[in-house]
Amino acid sequence: MAIRRIIKIGDETLSKKCRPVTDFNARLATLLDDMAETLHEANGVGLAAPQVGILKRAVVIDVGEGIIELINPKIVSSSEETTNDYEGCLSVPEKWGYVERPQTVTVKAEDRSGNPFELTGEGLLARAICHELDHLDGHLFTEKVSEYVDLSET
């Protein structure tokens, strides 16, 4: 495993649409292992492949319950109920802002071997899923922030 460099806001890589993963091979496994290590080293909640320069539809999420890998994820349902909470992004250092997200989302994805599965997340996990999937379409949370918060004052 290896730590990969996290691309920061301003780099056009982050605004590109990612391609589906079609080869579930050792290269993908290495990418996912590296993304997990990079995420943990940075104390983040989620990391999408484009943030390490790979324009493929793969994300890793860890809300404190272990790594979740989502390959070719698609949100299949989201609750009408939303939460408005602050979030940040490893590609947007030292910025946190309020974003409205669904309270619950269900996502269809594949695992690293290509096996399909469904996952329902609530609260922080739902927020992380939405945030990371936005990365795969070239969107950053900064496009959706209603208000920035200054966490350095607390």
Q: Could you give the C-alpha distances from 154 to 84, 95, 137, 145, in angstroms and in order?
A: 20, 14, 33, 20
Q: Taking the complex as a whole, how short is the minimal distance between the CB of residue 26 and Ni ion, in angstroms?
A: 26
- Listed in sequence order, the residues at least 6 apart from 42 whose beta carbon sits closer than 8 Å to its beta carbon are 6, 90
Question: Residue 132 catalytic?
Answer: yes
Q: Rounded to the nearest whole angstrom, what is the least distance from the CB of residue 111 to Ni ion in the complex?
A: 22
Write down the least CB distance from residue 135 to Ni ion, Å: 6
Q: Which is nearer to Ni ion, 45 or 71 (CB)?
A: 45
Residue in 12, 132, 143, 147 annotated catalytic: 132
**Site residues (CB under 5 A) for Ni ion?**
89
Active site positions, annotated: 132
